[in-house]
């Protein structure tokens, strides 16, 4: 019985490292290959995760995760540095319908 707390801590540490999110229009995505940043200065963008090898973004807007495809790192860097991350999203990322410059319906979606 004295080893039970040690086993529990070991299993908890392993569990805490694994994270998946449910992305609207895609489904569950494992965030292991992504570099994620929690955002506290925006009322719209709460988290931004970027997989540079696939130029793939997963962003949490309020409580919902969305994905954007073939987004170059300089655009992600501009977004993270923008005075208004919500305004940057609306004008430079989202676009309208399939007109969005990084819309995954018209760009390559990575497979994991």
Residue 8 dihedral angles phi and psi, to the nearest 5°: -60, -45
Buried b (16+ CB within 10 A) or exposed e, 55-90: bbbbbbbeeebbbbbbbeeebbeebeebeebeebbe
Q: List, as own/partner pairs, every contact residues 90-97 make where C-beta atoms lie below 8 angstroms and the sequence separation is at least 24, other chains included.
A: 93/68
- Cβ partners under 8 Å of residue 71, min gap 6: 50, 55, 56, 57, 93, 102
pLDDT value of residue 18: 82
pLDDT value of residue 17: 62
pTM above 0.85, yes or no: no
Mean pLDDT computed over 32-42: 97
Sorted by where each begins, the domain ranges of the chain are 20-93
Lowest mean pLDDT among 2-16, 23-37, 43-57, 78-92: 2-16
pLDDT in tens, 47-64: 999 999 999 999 999 999
What ranges make up the beta strands (E) of 62-102?
A: 64-68
């Amino acid at each position: 019985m004295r080893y039970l707390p040690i086993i529990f801590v070991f299993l908890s540490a392993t569990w805490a490292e694994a994270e998946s999110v449910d992305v609207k229009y895609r489904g569950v995505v494992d965030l292991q290959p992504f570099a994620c940043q929690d955002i506290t200065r925006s009322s719209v963008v709460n988290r931004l995760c970027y997989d540079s090898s696939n130029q793939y973004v997963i962003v949490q807007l309020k409580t919902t995760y969305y994905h954007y495809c073939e987004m170059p790192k300089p655009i992600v860097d501009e977004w993270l540095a923008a005075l208004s991350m919500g305004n940057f999203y609306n004008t430079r990322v989202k676009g309208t319908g399939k007109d969005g410059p990084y819309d995954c319906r018209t760009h390559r979606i990575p497979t994991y």
